[in-house]
Chain A
Amino acid sequence: MAREDYEIVIGLETHIELGTKTKIFCNCSTEFGGEPNAHTCPVCLALPGATPVLNEKVVEYAVKAGLATNCTIPEYTWQNRKNYLYPDMSPGYQVSQTEDFICQNGYIEIDTENGPKKIRIYEIHIETDAGKLVHGEYTNSSLVDLNRAGVPLAEIVSEPDLRSSEEVEKYLRSLKAIMEYIGVSDCKMQEGSMRADINLSVRKKGDPKYGNRTEMKNMNSFKFIVKAIEYEALRQIDILEDGGEVPSETVRWDEVSQKTIPMRDKDSAAYRPFPDPELAPIVLTKEYVENIRESLPELPEVRKKRYIEEYGLPEYDSKVITASKHFADLFEGAAKICNNPKAVSNWIMTEIIKVLNDQGLEPADIPFSSSDLGNLIILIDNGTISGGIGKKVLAEMFENPKAPEVIVKEKGWVQISDEGAIKEVVLKVLENNPQSVADYKAGKDKALGFLVGQAMKETRGQGNPGMLNKMFLDELKK
């Protein structure tokens, strides 16, 4: 049988760090970084007698995440201890949920070649992050940093509804956009605030039974996820084609060898989960849930449609822009100011995305406001600067954020639109380039472009290109 005869079946467990200011059971900061163990207290250090108190924001954020992904919220839930010993897990157990989860049975939609597809979400639950071990500072010992211990996480568990690496990427990007929109997580993969465990199996097309699955843990890059899925699917198909059986195990993607490697796994059924006797049950009244539902902001899908209708954006533009809340907010704010939505979307989709990619930044890192972008476009639209200068101003806005009009003024980049000044330049260029004048008059239209280019050089890019063009034509006709 050929590889095309197989279907890949994928379910994801996506961990996102909830963006609360403080940890799940104490008032320690959740800030990234910091001196080792600076963000700790008796509770997250698990000192004798220190009792946890659930941060209400964690519950609120989880319920928001659930409602934004069409989940049902039960009236009553609780937290279980999953018992296991490891030096980064200070109390000797992780507080998590293993049944009657805080969010149940939801879904999100992704775009596929065959139209929109629902990816079901089995459950979302809240749990604690662990600290980390630092190896190699001293010989023969490792150090424990508990700054991350007790940082709240939400784990979003999908049903095995995904069928390809493209679908997985779309699902994760969509989840990321939703979480950003509702403000519960910044989902920064490189900082580890979003990571996914990938459960993958293959089966012959049409086979109703799932195959044995492997789990790839802690994937935190779209690039690696796509590569790992493709490798792992082929590996499993090869095993089946050779008449073998895929072992159900945990594997690790190794970027160096570009392979998945089996790893030892903790037996998750051995966690002995039981309700944390130090924590009170969580009661979620209908009123509480409905208040949160009403407070939910507009979600990406809705905003995409609105931008098409309200701002006349092409569907593709609207999709790219609403895929990130930061882009969408930037777009809408700027469009309101300059009243030129198509120009705003062009600037975001070409120049801004280019700068972000070149510098390896995320939309969240854009250092200027939407009104700055709007004002930049106004400066171009009203002829104060040319589009070319506009790009230089934008680069400066990234480099050294200031209002565009201030940058233009400080740098002396105002476009020259004074007829007398333009004429002076045109005459000078004509005088210095007799050959090009002759070429033009001999019918070589290209020569005009050269002359305009020389004039732009002369004005250091600040000449009004429309005026220069017209003035050259007028003069050459003489």
Chain B
Amino acid sequence: MKIVGLRNNICVKNGKMTCGSKMLENFISPYNSTIVERLNTAGVKTENIDMKEFGVVEDNFIQEFFAGNTSNTAIMVDGSGEIARNSVNGLIGIKPTFGAVSRYGVVTVAPSLEQAGVISKDINELKEVFDIIKGYDEKDSASVKEVLENKQSDDIKIGAISEAMNLVNGFTAQKVEITNLKYAKKVACMISSAESSSNLARYDGIKYGHRAENTSTWKEVYTKSRQEGFGYDVKKKMIAGTFFLDRDNMEEYYKRAEKIRTLIKQEVKELFKKVDVIAIPSDSEYTCIANLTGRPAISANGVTLIGNFFEEERLIKLASELTK
């Protein structure tokens, strides 16, 4: 492996990074993300993969990239199960534990949900690339210095939500239930909208990025630049998020969403006392459970397995059996 695909929201020094947005159409990153630093050290080159604006709208560029046959592996950001949904046609994808791969230099819309991961045609290469980019980085607050190793027996207990029972044929699986599962997508959407309204505030036309012409006040620089620079879906998301965080709506929307997120985390934590992984369908709206809980997830053959924190290696092993 000499080259991997890299989504256009991961900084490469002196490289054009648009995040698929007019807002950053001419932005050249003056610094490397930690991911790219580590790839460089390992002698791995990168090739750009386009995206739709800030990843707010999903696209098929990952599939096009793999069809192009230049590389077996790509690195992309996952905020609500994009890696799972792209792990089709023989691709295997891993969304690591929150903080397992440094977020430094990775452009985020909703930082509490997003995490860069790896997607590959080949499970060995997936592991190889993950091993290169993972690990402690002092530039990322979510990064962890020491990972407590859980005792891992070879005997893995699989739990599956009812929709996934038929996807783990050949394995012994027990059916599990997450009562708040039905709220997961809405909660993730509310939280990511709220965070986006703040996280995209830095794109103001003042320091870098698209700047409107013929402005006479700083406010006009902001409003015109943002009006011209952002597309419809990004604007919609930010406006919704601003609404959810507004003092009159905060309790009912943002705080409520965070409460349900906490309940989901607790419920999932309880389940993990009984099982080692939880299986869900990769094409379902439930994949965002991995983002809401910060847990790692591996996807192959239509099934996504959510694991315990920092147990990516175990998940990769399991996936290689699953794909046999």
Contacts and interface: CB of A to CB of B under 8 A. Distances in A.
Interface stretch (A47-55, A58-66, A428-436, A446-454): A47-55
Contacts of A285: none
A83 B245 contact: yes
B87 interface: no
A297 interface: no
A272 B104 CA distance: 25
A90 interface: yes
B51 interface: no
A124 B103 CA distance: 30
Interface stretch (A176-184, A247-255, A273-281, A401-409): A273-281
A91 B199 CA distance: 8
Contacts of A279: 141
Contact of A48 (B17, B110, B139, B206): B17
B105 interface: yes
B208 A47 contact: yes
A144 interface: yes
Contact of A53 (B27, B138, B202, B218): B138
Contacts of B301: none
Nearest to A92: B201
Contact of B141 (A46, A50, A93, A278): A278
A54 B110 contact: no
**Looking at A48, A52, A140, A270, which has the most chain B CB atoms within 10 Å of its CB?**
A48
Contact of A274 (B202, B208, B254): B254
B135 interface: no
**Looking at A81, A92, A279, which has the most chain B CB atoms within 10 Å of its CB?**
A92
Given A91-B201, A272-B247, A278-B111, A49 B11 contact: yes
A269 B249 CA distance: 12
A419 B266 CA distance: 94
B33 interface: yes
B107 A48 contact: yes
Contacts of A91: 201-202
B105 A49 contact: yes
B125 interface: no
Q: How large is the interface on B (under 10, 10 to 19, 20 to 34, 35 or more residues)?
A: 35 or more
Contacts of A270: 246-247
A25 B139 CA distance: 9
A421 interface: no
A144 B242 contact: no
A269 B27 CA distance: 34
A297 B54 CA distance: 51
B324 interface: no
B108 A49 contact: yes
B30 A272 contact: no
B204 A85 contact: yes
A54 B103 CA distance: 15
A277 B202 contact: no
B17 A53 contact: no
A277 B195 CA distance: 8
A47 B31 contact: yes
A86 B138 CA distance: 30
Contact of B194 (A54, A90, A274): A274
A144 B194 CA distance: 28
A47 B30 contact: yes
A277 B112 contact: yes
B187 to A, nearest CB: 14
Contact of A90 (B11, B103, B197, B207): B207
A339 B107 CA distance: 64
Contact of B9 (A49, A81, A269, A272): A49
Contacts of B111: 51, 277-278
Contact of A51 (B17, B139, B208, B242): B139
Chain B facing A: main interface SS: loop
Contacts of B167: none
Given A50-B105, A142-B218, A45 B139 contact: no
B65 interface: no
B309 interface: no
A45 B108 contact: no
Interface in A220-236: none
A36 interface: no
B49 interface: no
Contacts of B216: 140
B288 interface: no
B24 interface: yes
A388 interface: no
Interface string B182-224: 0000000000001101110111101110000000101000100
A87 interface: yes
B250 A49 contact: no
A272 B106 CA distance: 25
Given A83-B197, A277-B195, A49 B107 contact: yes
Contacts of B245: 83, 272, 274
A262 interface: no
A55 to B, nearest CB: 11
B206 A87 contact: yes
A144 B9 contact: no
A270 B245 CA distance: 9
B48 interface: no
A218 to B, nearest CB: 20
A49 B200 CA distance: 11
Contacts of A86: 218
B122 interface: no
A42 interface: yes
B161 interface: no
A144 B222 CA distance: 14
A45 B206 CA distance: 11
Contact of B103 (A45, A51, A92, A272): A51
A90 B203 CA distance: 9
B286 to A, nearest CB: 22
Interface string B11-43: 100000101000010010111010000000000
Nearest to A83: B198
Contacts of B208: 47
A52 B141 contact: yes
A49 B207 contact: no
B141 A92 contact: no
B10 interface: yes
Interface in A9-57: 42, 45-54
29 contacts: A46-B202, A47-B29, A47-B31, A47-B208, A48-B24, A48-B203, A49-B33, A49-B106, A50-B31, A51-B104, A53-B138, A54-B141, A81-B198, A83-B198, A83-B201, A85-B201, A86-B218, A90-B202, A92-B204, A270-B246, A272-B242, A272-B250, A274-B254, A277-B110, A277-B111, A277-B112, A277-B195, A278-B103, A280-B141
Given A49-B103, A51-B103, A87-B206, 17 more contacts: A42-B105, A47-B30, A53-B138, A53-B139, A83-B245, A91-B201, A92-B198, A93-B198, A93-B201, A140-B216, A144-B207, A270-B246, A272-B197, A274-B194, A278-B103, A279-B141, A280-B142
Q: Which 10 A-B residue pairings sit nearest by Cβ, starting from the closest?
A: A92-B201, A277-B112, A272-B245, A277-B111, A46-B202, A49-B107, A49-B105, A48-B107, A280-B141, A278-B111
